[in-house]
Amino acid sequence: MTPRASRRDRILSRIVQLAFVGGVLALWYLATARWGVSHLLLPNPVRVWDQLKDVLASGEFVPDLRITLTELAVAFAISSISGVTLGYLLSRSQFLIRVFEPLLAGIYSIPIILFLPLYVLFFGLGPASKIALGATISFFPVVLATVAGFGYVERIYVVAARSMGASGFQLFRWVLLPAALPVILTGLRMGFIVALLSILGSETIASLAGLGHRIVHLAEAMETARMFAYIAFAVAIAALLNFVVTLIEARGRR
Amino acid sequence: MTQSVPEAVASKAGAARRAPPRAGLMRVVRRHPAIARLAVIAALLLLWEIAARDWVDPMFLSPPSRVIGSLGAVFRTPGVPAALQITFFELAVAFVISVAIGLALGLLLGLSRFSRASFMPIVLLLYGTPQITILPLFILYFGIGAASKIAFGVSHGIFPIIVIIAAGVQNLKPILLTSARSMGASRWQLFRWVIFPHMIPSFFAGMRLGMTGVLLGVLLAELYVSTAGIGYFTTLFTQNFDPTRLLGLISLLAVMAIVLNEIVRRAEVHFGRWRAE
């Protein structure tokens, strides 16, 4: 394809995308304003926008956001530290890798959200059960990535470094760590995202506070416009966090 | 672990071979990690048993021996077999819908460069949003019955299928298409003999990820609100502080999830084999 044709295609694609988003918004507006869809089911986009401005201006979101982010921070701190430590220890022996890796991968393939009722039973409805669930779910991608990162370093590099007389620490600092870091960072990013999702999820299902809880609360009060505003807010926060960790991962890879 | 870092790494693949001679049992275990794995599982179960018997309030934790013993009682609880059936039905329907729509959309996106450039960013954007935040909307639109669980399951299962199928079709080598065309293949023949066989591995990879998504979506919706599915009983057992039956029910569901995952994974390995050069 000629560069000119491909540029024309790219512009056309952008137009199609804009038309798609615009079409969805227009349909949404027409459905509520003209076609009489109940505002309990689908609030008018203009009202949602007003509610969103109100939520942001009044600072009403601050306590909920703080709780959700605190839960996320604690859960991720627990899972990343324990996951990287355990992963490193396991990766030091090929035997341990072969014993534990299938075990961890097997547990990871079960939807751990199933155990949420148990966590609620153990830790109550407060933040503790969310932290525990988030830490459990995000532990697995971190530990599996750490094992994969440290456990499968090309042997030729290790042999070469040792034959040049590298000490144990030098080997770790200059060979193992650079080789493993990209894989571990990917695992940490995935762990962070699943921790965020499982915390939002457990807040939605059973909780006393937090963003997920606020959305459910508004849904039950049938305040749909404000609920849409909070959903948009939560999605924006999630997108922002996702963007930040992706950026950190990209920087760390260099 | 007394090995230093370089030794441990250098002895990687040859760990079993070069291990110093030891007692027979140790050597057998070293050769067969599966034995050690079973021992780890047994140790964990034992720890759980002891913890539940001696350390933890029986209101909260039940030993595995009692949980296994109570599986019969869980099954006899009125409504539980029906609830398991409903949940299985929701999973099956959500999976079939995800695969059917995901396959169609994935092919549409994968086979046309223009539609891929236009709509792939939108699909990826939707795939990346935390759908859990809109779970209350699904209940609002589809009610608290099976329909909302199926819809939520589809919303989790469909995107990985679209993305993987589109990527799989797209990776087709142009030379294969060109040579088939130059030998006079019709459109249908092209699809049947070139595109379709190349799609199979990505199709099954998509099915596997789709199954993971569907399981997550359906179970999330079940736990959120349920009138007859398993979510109803997990809530009931939690509120009655009945950890024995709660653990029993959860283990049954975990087995269901493992079996479903395993079926799809086996299918992927089986049908993806021809490609392994």
CB contact under 8 A, A9 and B117: yes
Burial readout A145-162 (b: 16 or more C-beta within 10 A, e: otherwise)? bbbbbbbebeeebbeebb
> Domain coordinates of chain A in residue numbers?
1-37, 58-252
Pairwise CB contact (< 8 Å): B33 & A95: yes
Candidate from B4, B13, B117 with C-beta closest to A168: B4
pLDDT tens for the 277 residues of chain B, in order: 334 444 444 444 444 444 455 567 777 777 777 888 888 888 888 888 888 777 777 777 778 878 887 788 777 878 888 888 888 899 999 999 999 999 889 888 887 777 887 788 888 888 878 888 888 888 888 888 888 999 999 999 999 999 888 888 877 777 888 888 888 888 888 877 888 777 787 888 888 889 889 998 998 888 888 777 888 888 888 888 878 888 888 888 888 888 888 888 888 777 766 554 4
Q: Which amino acid is residue B211, in one-letter code?
A: M
Q: Which of B30, B117, B130 sits opposite A238 (nearest CB)?
A: B130
A85 in contact with B, Cβ within 8 Å: no
List the structure tokens of A83: 């996951």
Q: Give B162-211 as a DSSP string.
A: HHHHHHHHHTS-HHHHHHHHHTT--HHHHIIIIIHHHHHHHHHHHHHHHH
Instruction: Say yes or no: ipTM exceeds 0.95.
Output: no
Report, in this order, helix, strand and coil percent for chain B, each rounded to 5.
Answer: 80, 0, 20
Place of tokens 């039956």: B245
Which CA distances in Å does A22 have to B34, B108, B130? 56, 22, 22
Architecture category of domain B71-271 in CATH = Orthogonal Bundle (1.10)
For B92, the token pair is 């099956």
- Total-model pTM: 0.81
Calpha distance B252→A47 (Å, rounded) = 46
Which whole number is the average pLDDT over A96-125?
85
For chain A, percent of residues with pLDDT exceeding 70 = 98
Q: Are A172 and B7 in contact (CB under 8 A)?
A: no
Third-level CATH fold of A58-252: MetI-like fold (1.10.3720)
Residue found under tokens 């040859």: B14
Q: Say which of B15, B119, B136 has its CB closest to residue A219.
A: B136
- pLDDT tens digits for A171-187? 888 888 888 888 889 89
* Domain residue ranges of chain B, discontinuous segments joined by +: 5-55, 71-271
- The minimum CA-CA distance between B247 and chain A, rounded to whole Å, is 8
C-alpha–C-alpha distance, residues A214 and A4, integer Å: 50
Residue A75 in contact with partner chain B when CB distance is under 8 A: no
Residue B219: its chain A contacts at CB < 8 A?
111, 113-114
